Structure 1
Amino acid sequence: AMNILTSVLLLYAKEEEAFWLLVAVCERMLPDYFNRRIIGALVDQAVFEELIRDHLPQLTEHMTDMTFFSSVSLSWFLTLFISVLPIESAVNVVDCFFYDGIKAILQLGLAILDYNLDKLLACKDDAEAVTALNRFFDNVTNKDSPLPSSVQQGSNVSDEKSSHIRVDITDLIRESNEKYGNIRCEDIYSMRCRNRLYVIQTLEETTKQNVLRVVSQDVKLSLHELDELYVIFKRELFFSYYWCLRAPVLKHHDPSLPYLEQYQIDCQQFRVLYHLLSPWAHSANRDSLALWTFRLLDENSDCLINFKEFSSAIDIMYNGSFTEKLKVLFKLHIPPAYTEVKYKDPSKGDELSKEELLYFSQLHVSKPAKEKEAESAKNSPKGEEKVDIQAYLSQWQDELLKKEENIKDLPRMNQSQFIQFSKTLYNLFHGDPEEELLYQAIAVVTNLLLRMEEVGRKLHNPASSTKGLSGAVCASGGPSEGQTESHLEKDPSSLREEPQWSFAFEQILASLLNEPALVKFFEKPIDLKAKLENAKTSQLSSRTRK
């Protein structure tokens, strides 16, 4: 639309003059018209529909669906009738627009519908009405045009169209002023403000429906649960806009982005939502879990996650199988999600300040050399001169048919990561009715894993032994969480003296499956509906207290 308007301006003005005229149109006369969502044009279309109801009620009664006028008139507003009228007639409309603003376009639109009222009332469907209007536009002429009649678009219509009555653009504009000149600019401004909220709400609803449609294909959550989750997600984002005047999140909303990328949250907003919604939020190290979960979801390392990524995590926590939940917990304790958290203020316990949270969320963990090479080979085209189309198509197909991650591809968990993983499990069990039984089960599993690793090391290197560490964990066989942690952390230097050991995910999974209490804990159903209701209430009450 801007190209069409600019081409006409360049015919009658110098380049700089045409540029400043275009600036006046885009920024002042037609605000919010020329962007991806064309909000300004949609608002004026809603104003146009309102004027049709007031001035042409018989047409409104005949048309069962008012969206017809929106679909037909969109090009009228975006191009100021240049795309539908012959050029020699359209320039007169542009002149009137620069004099009267949007009022001239609205008046002319009403005059055109009024002129064709009988034909439109006789039409049986939308296609017939569009044809009638197009024939009318083709027969609009300009007797005052300086162009010779032989080159005028309105004079070169076919014989079939020439049978229709010709209309002079000057007469049409004069008639629009005589019939609809009582429309005041103040009234148009008032209608614009009134309809703007409706248009934006409609666009937001469309965005939500498209996001839910895409996300619902990848999660087990119901549409109602996704809808509630989306409202909470977006509400937290907008609360951040309102309550934090200098919040960096203000720049995260870009309506021109695809639907999924329009609303994204940073680590601070994610922590709030994690505390409200996660079934693991009662854990003592919940801030660390929220941080690691955010880092796991933030695959492109831009320190932002969208609703699809957020809902996938919630879906696994509530609807995932035992293996899926355990895999998530495993991945939270290995890079790139895991990063060692050092608290600046020990008096606050395991609670992270906002500054600490944002700092740790931005730390980048370097990938192994082999993984980097494989990634660069996958992303770089083969050969600089000739692009391998097949390679790109294959890569695209892999993205579309994203296979389920093989547990054998997961890296091994090292010594410090396993200790933290064990602590997290103990924290998750705190407060559970079967807390003591769960503590005993995890102690048995930890002891078993360490003995397996010790046997494996002796087979490869008889001189090495993990007796010290194994004994420390065995000593914690009771249900006390504090005893276990004290044994694990009693002498960090002794851990460094021992050879490094690690565990594969399959080993941990197989060991935990042997303990029915652990399987039951992770597989017991959790009421997400009640959690969503409590989250909505907590969101409002927490902001009210502030």
Structure 2
Amino acid sequence: MAFFDSLREKAVSTINSVLQDKKTPPGLTKEQWFCREYSLPDGEVVVAENAAEVAVISDFSTSAYKDLNNPEGRIYLTQHFIVFRDAFDRRNCSFTLHVSTVKKVERLPSKSYAVALAIGTQSKLTFTIYLVGLRSDSEKFAQTLKTVLKRNLPNVKKLQPFVQTCYSEYLLFKNNISSEKIESVPPGGLGLLFKFPGNPKELRDKSKMKLWFDLFRVDGRNLSLVKTPMFYRLIRVGLPNRLRGELWELCCGSMYLRLDYQDEYKEILEKNLHKKSLATDEIEKDLNRSLPEYAAYQSPEGIERLRRVLTAYSWKNPEVGYCQAMNIVVAALLIYMSEEQAFWALNLLCDRIVPGYYSKTMYGTLLDQRVFESLVQNTMPMLWDHITKNDIQLSVVSLPWFLSLYLSSMPLVFAFRILDVFFLQGPQTLFQVALAILKINGEELLKTDDDGSFISIIKDYFQVLDQSAHPSSPNPKYRSITKFQELLVTAFKEFAIVDDEMINTHRNKHRDTIFQNISSFVKRTELRNLPKTVNISSDTLSVIYDRFYSVVQSSVTVGSGSSLMDFNAFRTFMSEICRWVKPESDSGPEDTVFLHHLFSNWDTEGQRALSLSDLVSGLNKLVEPDLMTMITNFFDLYDYKNKGKIDREGILQISEDLLYVTNPWKEGYVLDDITKQAIENAVADEVYKANAARESNDGEILIPSQMDIDKPKFEGLQVERYLQAASTFIQRAFEYAQPEEEELLIKDLAIDNTISHNAALNPNTPVFLNLPTFRMVILADETYELLFSKTLRESIQLDTPLDNKINSMRNLRDMFDGLLADGRKVANKVRRRMDSAASNALHSNNNLSVNSSDNTSLKSGKSKIQEEEEERDDDFGVISIDEKDKDLLLGAEAQVLMDPTVDNASRTNELKKFHDAEAAAGKTVHKFEGDNLIEFET
């Protein structure tokens, strides 16, 4: 016996190792993949796991059920869940047990297993866990379980109010099965007020409710339900109306979010009551266009519920806000769900189940359309050839199916049947049903040659889904099979091979192509909608766009255009393009004052964040070439009340910010034009002297390879000049500032003889600086005039490539080396000096005698030379900048490689007959005994 136990343990261990090595989808960590695989909230982490056998018993289990072999598999423990799945087939037995439902845990004596645990739950289920493997591992699992249960004790209080909202608990309580006292009927969907779609008798709603009641008694419910083969069968035959909402949220996992955040939905609505946004405006436009065929959405009650859910989600996830088709999906959820249930289901839909479907770019939907085309090409090549040959746009037909989850394409009663399976197995359902639609209608579709007739055939098919699929069959059982039942058989039997793994493979294949196309389209669209920027070229705007989204780390999959830049991202952005902005690691609080002024001034919406439009508009002002306009723009930064006045504090702040902005020049590691001009003149003088001293002069000007220039001298002169400019600004600003109340100022001066001779410096005498005075003070200083006319603008390199940062360190030695390397420029300047000197000497010899008047004329001649040089400085003083390559590659459309084609004989055989309906139906149609329910085995 021990031999067989050992063999069994090895087999289970081998199977579980295979399960553990299952490839994690790209882009997800193992923890994220685990949460998605078992529909757990993000953040759950496996803290213990072990091979195990499980027995699940309830007070209502039959003896035959108790005698079943215990399923073998692997059990996982996270912070809030106990998860088990069968090693061979998860549909055989699996469960996700919330630890809050655990009422009792005891250790059982066992000779065959290392550790045996009995776990009793709130739903009166007893889970007997037989841990398989090394005793040390089993003991560790048991100890970790004890720790998890203790840590979760504070969360147990959430369980009681939560089960009051579950209809499954209410159903059992009313039938004296549950010990939980349910005080009132749990809230439900609009169907309770406006009736559920379809005829309940034809849908056998009561019979389905009875089957689920029996399952709840034996296998648990809501937070402690065990999924057995019967669970999957009942999902496939259609859910009862009153339980549909609860089972949807259980299958997709939004139930766990609703448990953890029980008050968040109400809090969001209360916090944002009466607030308006672009999303709320868009919601209002679509409210009356949401499932108009359903009576609830022609009434205030239905419209108000829909408005609240959509609005709450837009505030919770402002990055997405509100997007196309979201109203249709939420309207459908609200028929079967309460507002809170629909809110959390919508969160999970957008974030996990179909990410990118409901976003500004619909990235997920467009990607899946390309995946769908690939699947059609692979599974129905003859039909695909026909589609491509006639240039039929398949995505035009199928996009509404995926985007609205079939809710806007087929009658609601059938769309909800598809949603039953969709919430259970995810987006693969959408592909399976879409492929089945094409295959069933394949023969008719092969006769079409344009989009219109193609769409018409599918549209007509959706209108007759309730009709018999085989009306002429002699067998009455086959005549009772509807086209919709045939569709389900085809989707979940013939296309069962289309699973998540296959879909992810195709997604990975086409993701880059779709991303590039969407990114290019979004970029062009957003750049086109930006405000006009006369000072920034279109090519530079493209670079700014790329840098903006790289800094805010936005992704096109969540919808470009709505991302906002906070202050930290703004500082990073500016440090990459401005010489005077230090990186965050090298700066202190005093270095951000001026940036805060810019940030606040550019934040037109007052939301403490900048949109791309705000940033571009601000930068356009910052690189203004017109001197007077530039001074005005700087003045406006401190005119907080928009009265054309800057008070005493504002003047002091301007002086401090000017010191900050001019740091690169004030510290001497960046040169302005005044210093450059002085250096050029010094270099030219040295070269002139060297060439004038040559004995033979053949007209060629020699440029020495090295030159002794007093570097500290020029550094010191520039630093001194900027410090002097700052001091002069403060002095002149207060000297020419105007008193706030002139009469009061004069009166005070007459009474108080102790006031300083400069009354503007007295804090008791308020003064202000207006724009004309500010301009006068700036223009009175050569350094600051140059700063606003040129220096500041040139220090901002908006077209710096994304992968480079601006080089703000250019010292004087670099300047000297550049001048010597540019020998032509120096030679031209020296030649003009030599020509002027020779001309002047010749003129003096011919016309002037050596006397006092000669000296005066000579001095006059030198003055003319200097004036002539000043007039010519513009000819050689402009620094030449090489133009950068502006041919930015925005991503060309990649050519999609066609899969290898199959031979013509195979294609002909494939579509010779799309299906044998009677044979397929004969193999798949079953009935539940006593309930007359049709069930499709897949």
**TM-score, structure 2 as length reference:** 0.37
SS at match of 1:319: coil
Match among 632, 636, 654 for residue 327 of structure 1: 632
Partners of 1:94 and 1:498 lie apart in 2 by: 74
Match among 518, 524, 548 for residue 233 of structure 1: 548
Partners of 2:633 and 2:390 lie apart in 1 by: 50
Residue 122 of structure 1: how far off its partner (Å): 5.3
Match among 229, 243, 257 for residue 17 of structure 1: 243
Match among 574, 578, 588 for residue 274 of structure 1: 574
The number of aligned residues is 408
Residue 273 of structure 1: how far off its partner (Å): 2.0
Q: Which residue of 2 aligns with 1:533?
A: 800
Q: 1:135 to 1:517 in 2, by over 3 A?
A: same
Q: Which residue of 1 aligns with 2:296?
A: none
Residue 499 of structure 1: how far off its partner (Å): 2.2
Checking the alignment, whether the CA contact within 8 Å between 2:646 and 2:769 is kept in structure 1 is yes
Q: 1:326 to 1:91 in 2, by over 3 A?
A: closer
Residue 180 of structure 1: how far off its partner (Å): 3.7
Residue range with higher mean Cα deviation, 125-134 or 46-55: 125-134
**Any unmatched runs of 5+ in structure 1?**
146-165, 242-252, 336-366, 368-408, 472-493, 540-546
SS at match of 1:85: coil
Query: Residue deviations 1:240-273, cap 9 Å, x none?
Result: x9xxxxxxxxxxx9958xx54x322222222222
Residue 506 of structure 1: how far off its partner (Å): 2.4
Matches within 5 A, 1:247-266: 255=558, 260=561, 262-266=562-566
Residue 235 of structure 1: how far off its partner (Å): 1.8
Checking the alignment, whether the CA contact within 8 Å between 1:266 and 1:304 is kept in structure 2 is yes
Residue 172 of structure 1: how far off its partner (Å): 4.3
Q: 1:422 to 1:87 in 2, by over 3 A?
A: closer
Query: Residue deviations 1:74-117, cap 9 Å, x none?
Result: 33234554533356665665566577654454233223324444
Residue 508 of structure 1: how far off its partner (Å): 1.1
SS at match of 2:409: coil
Matches within 5 A, 1:292-311: 292-311=597-616
Q: Which residue of 2 aligns with 1:107?
A: 432
Checking the alignment, whether the CA contact within 8 Å between 1:445 and 1:512 is kept in structure 2 is yes
Partners of 2:445 and 2:518 lie apart in 1 by: 29
Q: Which residue of 2 aligns with 1:349?
A: none
Q: 1:118 to 1:449 in 2, by over 3 A?
A: same
Q: Which residue of 1 aligns with 2:619?
A: 314
Q: Which residue of 2 aligns with 1:370?
A: none
Structure 2 counterpart of 1:537, which letter? N
Q: Does 1:288 align with 2:593?
A: yes
**Any unmatched runs of 5+ in structure 2?**
1-188, 206-238, 253-344, 471-480, 675-717, 807-938
Structure 1 counterpart of 2:623, which letter? Y
Query: Residue deviations 1:467-489, cap 9 Å, x none?
Result: 95759xxxxxxxxxxxxxxxxxx
Residue 456 of structure 1: how far off its partner (Å): 10
Structure 1 counterpart of 2:636, which letter? K
Q: 1:234 to 1:127 in 2, by over 3 A?
A: same
Partners of 2:599 and 2:756 lie apart in 1 by: 35
Choose 1 or 2 for highest CA Rg: 2
Q: Which residue of 2 aligns with 1:142?
A: 467
Residue 51 of structure 1: how far off its partner (Å): 0.3
Residue 280 of structure 1: how far off its partner (Å): 4.4
Structure 1 counterpart of 2:595, which letter? A
Residue 229 of structure 1: how far off its partner (Å): 1.3
Q: 1:223 to 1:173 in 2, by over 3 A?
A: same
Residue 46 of structure 1: how far off its partner (Å): 3.2
Residue 448 of structure 1: how far off its partner (Å): 5.1
SS at match of 1:277: coil
Residue 132 of structure 1: how far off its partner (Å): 3.2
Residue range with higher mean Cα deviation, 455-464 or 77-86: 455-464
Query: Residue deviations 1:426-466, cap 9 Å, x none?
Result: 55262434246677677666655544447998887276399
Partners of 1:57 and 1:302 lie apart in 2 by: 53
Checking the alignment, whether the CA contact within 8 Å between 2:359 and 2:557 is kept in structure 1 is no
Q: Does 1:53 align with 2:377?
A: yes
Checking the alignment, whether the CA contact within 8 Å between 2:371 and 2:503 is kept in structure 1 is yes
Residue 333 of structure 1: how far off its partner (Å): 3.7
Partners of 1:289 and 1:53 lie apart in 2 by: 59
Q: 1:530 to 1:325 in 2, by over 3 A?
A: closer
Q: Percent identity?
A: 18
Checking the alignment, whether the CA contact within 8 Å between 1:216 and 1:222 is kept in structure 2 is no
SS at match of 1:63: helix
Query: Residue deviations 1:468-522, cap 9 Å, x none?
Result: 5759xxxxxxxxxxxxxxxxxxxxxx94466232211222124434666644432
Checking the alignment, whether the CA contact within 8 Å between 1:10 and 1:18 is kept in structure 2 is no
Residue 293 of structure 1: how far off its partner (Å): 1.5
Structure 2 counterpart of 1:461, which letter? I
Residue range with higher mean Cα deviation, 168-177 or 315-324: 168-177
Query: Residue deviations 1:30-68, cap 9 Å, x none?
Result: 444874456654444332122022223444444389993
Q: Does 1:77 align with 2:402?
A: yes
**TM-score, structure 1 as length reference:** 0.59
SS at match of 2:410: coil
SS at match of 1:536: coil
Q: Does 1:507 align with 2:773?
A: yes
Partners of 1:89 and 1:414 lie apart in 2 by: 70
Q: Does 1:63 align with 2:374?
A: no
Residue 537 of structure 1: how far off its partner (Å): 2.2
Residue 21 of structure 1: how far off its partner (Å): 3.0
Residue 332 of structure 1: how far off its partner (Å): 3.4
Checking the alignment, whether the CA contact within 8 Å between 2:578 and 2:796 is kept in structure 1 is no
Partners of 2:242 and 2:482 lie apart in 1 by: 35
Match among 404, 412, 422 for residue 655 of structure 2: 422
Q: Which residue of 1 aligns with 2:506?
A: 191
Q: Which has the higher contact order (CA 8 A, sep 6+)?
A: 1
SS at match of 1:221: coil
Residue 530 of structure 1: how far off its partner (Å): 5.4
Residue range with higher mean Cα deviation, 31-40 or 498-507: 31-40
Residue 298 of structure 1: how far off its partner (Å): 3.2
Structure 1 counterpart of 2:459, which letter? N
Partners of 1:426 and 1:86 lie apart in 2 by: 70
Checking the alignment, whether the CA contact within 8 Å between 1:334 and 1:413 is kept in structure 2 is yes
CA RMSD of aligned residues (A): 4.8
Structure 2 counterpart of 1:413, which letter? I
Partners of 2:794 and 2:420 lie apart in 1 by: 64
Q: 1:74 to 1:232 in 2, by over 3 A?
A: same
Checking the alignment, whether the CA contact within 8 Å between 2:578 and 2:797 is kept in structure 1 is no
Partners of 2:427 and 2:379 lie apart in 1 by: 17
Checking the alignment, whether the CA contact within 8 Å between 1:278 and 1:314 is kept in structure 2 is no
Structure 1 counterpart of 2:574, which letter? Y
Structure 1 counterpart of 2:603, which letter? D
Checking the alignment, whether the CA contact within 8 Å between 2:736 and 2:773 is kept in structure 1 is no
Partners of 1:10 and 1:328 lie apart in 2 by: 69
Partners of 1:423 and 1:89 lie apart in 2 by: 70
SS at match of 2:553: helix
SS at match of 1:265: coil
Residue 327 of structure 1: how far off its partner (Å): 2.8
Match among 438, 444, 451 for residue 126 of structure 1: 451
